[in-house]
Amino acid sequence: MGLLSLGTPLHWNDAKKYADHVRSHGIDQFLSVYRKQRSRQKQCLLWGDEVEYVVVKLDKENHTTKLSLRAFDILASLQKTEQDYLEGKTTQPPEALWRPEYGRFMIEGTPGEPYGATFRDLMTVEASMKKRRQLAIEAMLPDEIPVTLVNYPRLGCPNELEIDSEPHGKACQSMFVPDEVINPHARFPTLTANIRRRRGAKVEINMPIFHDKNTPRPFIDPTIPYDREVFDHDKEAKNGAAKPDHIYMDAMAFGMGCCCLQITFQACNIDEARRLYDHLAPVAPIMLALTGASPIYRGYLADVDARWNVIASAVDDRTPEERGLKPLENDRFVINKSRYDSIDTYISNDAMYKEKYNDLDLVYDKDIYEKLRKNDVDDLLARHMAHLFIRDPLVIFEELLDQDDENSMDHFENLQSTNWQTVRFKPPPPNSDIGWRVEFRSMEVQLTDFENAAFSVFIVLLTRVILSFGLNLYIPITKVDENMATAHKRGSVLNDKFYFRKNVFTNNKPGANSNSHIEEEDEYELMTMNEIINGKDQGFPGFVPLIHSYLSSTNIDIETRCELTRYLSLISKRASGELMTGATYLRKLVTSHPQYKQDSVVSPEITYDLINTVDRIARGELKAPELLGDFNA
Amino acid sequence: MPAQAIPELLDIPTFKHLTLYTGNVMKTSVAGRSKVLGKKSNTELINAIDDTLCASLGGNKPSFRYIDQESLLEVPDLRSRSRILPEDRSDVEVTAKLFYLGEKPKDNAAYIRSSVEHLQRLLGVDTIDTFIVSLGEADVSSAWKQLELLHQQNILNKLGVADFSQKQLETILSDSSVTVKPSVNQINVGQCCDMPSAMIDLARKHHIELLHNADQADILDTESLSALLQKHNIRATVKPQFVIKYHVFVRCRSVVNDKGYVVVGDSLP
């Protein structure tokens, strides 16, 4: 997550004084890269995946699990190969790169080198992921396991940490999690505390509880210590922050402690990057729903299947004024979303874009906009940057305040990397061959490497399909936001419909008259997940059939094609309901457990069996036909 | 067209030969709409011809070229330009597949020469990276001799066959008069349940790529082609002689920039 510079991070009271400095130089740094790199052409497809894991201590003798806080030590061991390589001690490049994440219980792995453009490259993804899992296991203690669960189900419940601490940490000031869950690098506790200080309150996360037969109505959570008086912020829960019928969480760890699957790929030039950004934005909520695998929070079954809104609330640093709760006095803007959320504006300049798709009243910094325009940045891109830069930098290192704007992107990345969006437009780093890139960020990590590989390959193939067929996936941004909300709903893959463009092949109708039928051409409608992924008769062909058409238009060999068909078949069956989503499967593991009392409570015993089961499935020791059908993990 | 209206025939001179270009079916939605999983089909070509006839001959101003001396009617697709810029040529791979249709042609080699010329003109290229022949009833050896000649002239690089059985592959590989061996055999393995392991081993031993084939060999017949023409108010019965399928693949980005067909046929009296 973001950059890990070295130095002394400033307390919010000091950091806010330098906000304009960071923003102003951040824009200068962007302009420097923009000037130097905007004409770069013909870059090849290179891409990579990021898989995140939680580290769990699994005690098979006592049937207990604990979240292990040893990620820091585990990473030191995992990173040795990379370090040796960078220091010239070996010529063998590392097979995987490992990075710390927000949680002290989390590790993140990426392939040692980016994948290339060929179909053969797509076939190496699963092996790379399996290798990473193996390396992680080898770096851990015998009773520790890396699990690709979106979250540890009982994070925030008492006695779930190894090693345990009381939730009395000054950074989080949470009633449920101690500061020990946060990565010890200075950046993370500072980020946590500064979000709280800027907001003026703890973050407030409320996910609807799943009401089962014996779940009380209304559900008032008995595990919340309403009357605690360790910190001033403790009274927020009883003063309304903890909503009835919801699972209340009060720390960044509940959000940023979630694991996801992210894909970053390089475009051939800046225009292609902008175009893919735009067309992947409507795909983000679709994939969030399809990969949904997080139905449990703080030991309770929730009525949501996906994590996005949890994270959005977990880092929401907006003040009451910015949230529109008080008239604007000290703050400049009323802002409609948390700094972690879906995008607010399309940015592509090509012929398919139309102004009516950007139907959100965009909040942006007018001065920054003007400066960008004066420096030859076009309107859409200038508005996008000026919108990202309405935020304050939350972590500022005193030693790094003064930078060489021609050779550093630190100040730019400060804002860029703390605007966490569904898709991210990434300019090239300075002094590098790396080009303009897009990051696809909405997917939830899946239980097995087979699934993670399938979804990664699916997204990459989808980008090739968008480019080869010239697909137009534009719908109004507000409809993409509505889809994000729908994507959270329990069982949305089977039960709900999503807004989707009716005609994705625009400009292509035989005898197309460019003036008539335009409104009709741009229509969107509500479609089921099955229709979006597998197609509807006489309508949208479906993402999977489109990918097959694309593959049939290439010189792909039969073996590679058959392998890719396996991945596409998994995606297809998840969308049709023939196979369960991760969330549905995890729910079933809980509700069918003999000790489950139909009261939404996910006890330590149930958690042990759940984690043991998913670990065995990931290792290929246990079959899960409802989740994976005939496919092997 | 309202049912009561009497369809007007298009004002097209009587022609002996027809050449029709489908243009880029990737961008016209035709390729996107072909359901391709499993068995071989020709739906994409049929839809592409229909689509081009509509685009070029429909509307108020029909576009076609009539070459008097040859009694040749050319129907272009005006929606896209297929010419590859010289500076982009090394970035892409051009693949062509020639489908022999109808009974044995008198001159096998002529179809090959003709296809190569069509593509050189259409795509603005001198060379074709992979050339595959789908022979049908046509004689292998005379066709192959022509391919080898073009290979020696550096016009064709990789040569390939379609739907060759293991026996046919073994025959051509052991034929000493064949100087340039096929590098490609296109086959269809349906839903991937039965992979032909013996052929896979043979192919691996002789460095032959086994590529996926989604096309039926008899990709176009007189009945279908004539029905399409009649649908667009051209009263003619045309027998297809051959069809060229081509695609242009951007190698380092895995993007299909262009894909289309050229249909060549003769009018029947």
- At B123 the pLDDT is 97
A548 touching chain B per CB within 8 A: yes
A2 touching chain B per CB within 8 A: no
Domain around A555: 449-628
A269 touching chain B per CB within 8 A: no
User: Rounded mean pLDDT of A122-136?
Assistant: 98
Please indicate, yes or no, if residue A157 is contained in any of the structural domains: no
User: Rounded mean pLDDT of A82-86?
Assistant: 95
Looking at the predicted complex, does its ipTM rise above 0.90?
A: yes
Please indicate, yes or no, if residue A237 is contained in any of the structural domains: no
Task: Provide the phi-psi class of A538: left if phi over 0, else alpha when psi is between -120 and 50, else beta.
Answer: left
Total structural domains within chain A: 1
Residue that wins the pLDDT comparison between B62 and A445 = A445
User: Rounded mean pLDDT of A7-17?
Assistant: 91
Please indicate, yes or no, if residue A521 is contained in any of the structural domains: yes
Cβ neighbours of B189 in A, within 8 Å: 558, 562
Task: Provide the phi-psi class of A431: left if phi over 0, else alpha when psi is between -120 and 50, else beta.
Answer: left
Q: Which residues contact A108 (CB under 8 A, 6 or more apart)?
A: A1, A50, A51, A52, A53, A98, A99, A100, A101
- At A511 the pLDDT is 44
Neighbour tally for A403: CB within 10 Å:
17
Q: How far is CA A602 from CA A209, A213, A237, A484, in A?
A: 12, 15, 22, 26
**pLDDT per residue as tens digits for the range A274-305:** 999 999 999 999 999 999 999 999 999 999 99
Say whether pTM exceeds 0.90: yes
Q: Are A425 and A415 in contact (CB under 8 A)?
A: no
Neighbouring C-alpha atoms within 13 Å toward the C-beta of A508: 22
Cβ neighbours of A122 in B, within 8 Å: none
- Å from A352 to nearest chain B CA? 13
Q: Which residues contact B35 (CB under 8 A, 6 or more apart)?
A: A541, A545, B41, B43
Contact assignment for A117 to B35 by CB distance below 8 Å: no
Contact assignment for B93 to A555 by CB distance below 8 Å: yes
Q: Which residues contact B248 (CB under 8 A, 6 or more apart)?
A: B82, B84, B92, B93, B94, B95, B123, B256, B257, B258, B259
Cβ neighbours of A541 in B, within 8 Å: 32-33, 35
Q: Are A408 and A430 in contact (CB under 8 A)?
A: yes
From the number of C-beta atoms within 10 Å of its C-beta (0-12, 13-18, 19+), residue A52 rates as: buried
Please state which of the ranges A336-340, A460-464, A509-513, B201-205 shows the lowest mean pLDDT.
A509-513
Please indicate, yes or no, if residue A210 is contained in any of the structural domains: no
Contact assignment for A555 to B130 by CB distance below 8 Å: yes
- Between CA A247 and CA A307 the distance in angstroms is 13
Neighbour tally for A629: CB within 10 Å:
15
Decide if pLDDT at A327 tops 70.
Answer: yes
Q: Which residues pair with A425 in a beta bridge?
A: A438
Q: Are A67 and A152 in contact (CB under 8 A)?
A: yes
- Between CA A349 and CA A282 the distance in angstroms is 17
- At A515 the pLDDT is 52
- At B1 the pLDDT is 46
Report which DSSP code applies to A344: S
Decide if pLDDT at A146 tops 90.
Answer: yes
**pLDDT per residue as tens digits for the range A14-32:** 999 999 999 999 999 999 9
- Chain A, window 457-516: residues with a beta carbon less than 8 angstroms from a chain B beta carbon: 464, 467-471, 504-505, 507-511
- Between CA A409 and CA A429 the distance in angstroms is 7
A562 touching chain B per CB within 8 A: yes
- At A4 the pLDDT is 64
Please indicate, yes or no, if residue A291 is contained in any of the structural domains: no
Percent residues over pLDDT 90 in chain A: 94
Q: Which residues contact A44 (CB under 8 A, 6 or more apart)?
A: A116, A117, A266, A268, B252, B253
Residues of chain B with a CB closer than 8 angstroms to some CB in chain A: 26-29, 31-37, 51, 54-55, 58-59, 79, 91, 93, 95, 130, 184, 187, 189, 192, 195, 200, 209-212, 214, 247, 249, 251-257, 259
Please indicate, yes or no, if residue A602 is contained in any of the structural domains: yes
- At B193 the pLDDT is 66
Report which DSSP code applies to A239: I
Place of tokens 């960078």: A86
Please indicate, yes or no, if residue A92 is contained in any of the structural domains: no
Provide the number of CB pairs (under 8 Å) joining chain A to chain B: 110
A518 band by pLDDT with thresholds 50, 70 and 90 = confident
| Pick from B37, B212, B255: CB nearest A464 | B255
Cβ neighbours of A462 in B, within 8 Å: none
Q: How far is CA A18 from CA A25, A316, A339, A363, in A?
A: 11, 20, 19, 22
Report which DSSP code applies to A48: E
Q: Which two tokens stand for residue A266?
A: 């390089």
Long-range contacts (CB closer than 8 Å, 24 or more residues apart) made by A586-593: A586/A293, A586/A295, A586/A296, A586/A610, A586/A614, A587/A210, A587/A295, A587/A301, A587/A490, A588/A626, A589/A613, A589/A614, A590/A296, A590/A301, A591/A212, A591/A301
Q: How far is CA A536 from CA A280, A502, A528, A540, A543, in A?
A: 21, 11, 9, 6, 11
Residue A63 DSSP SS3: coil
Contact assignment for B255 to A467 by CB distance below 8 Å: yes
Q: Are B215 and B96 in contact (CB under 8 A)?
A: no
- Å from A563 to nearest chain B CA? 9
User: Rounded mean pLDDT of A585-608?
Assistant: 98
Give the residue ranges of DSSP H helices in A214-348: 235-236, 252-256, 270-280, 283-291, 308-314
Please indicate, yes or no, if residue A435 is contained in any of the structural domains: no
From the first residue on, what is the mean pLDDT of each consecutive set of 10 residues in chain B (269 residues)?
54 90 92 78 94 86 88 89 94 96 77 95 97 87 93 97 94 94 92 84 95 92 95 92 96 97 93
Contact assignment for A467 to B253 by CB distance below 8 Å: yes
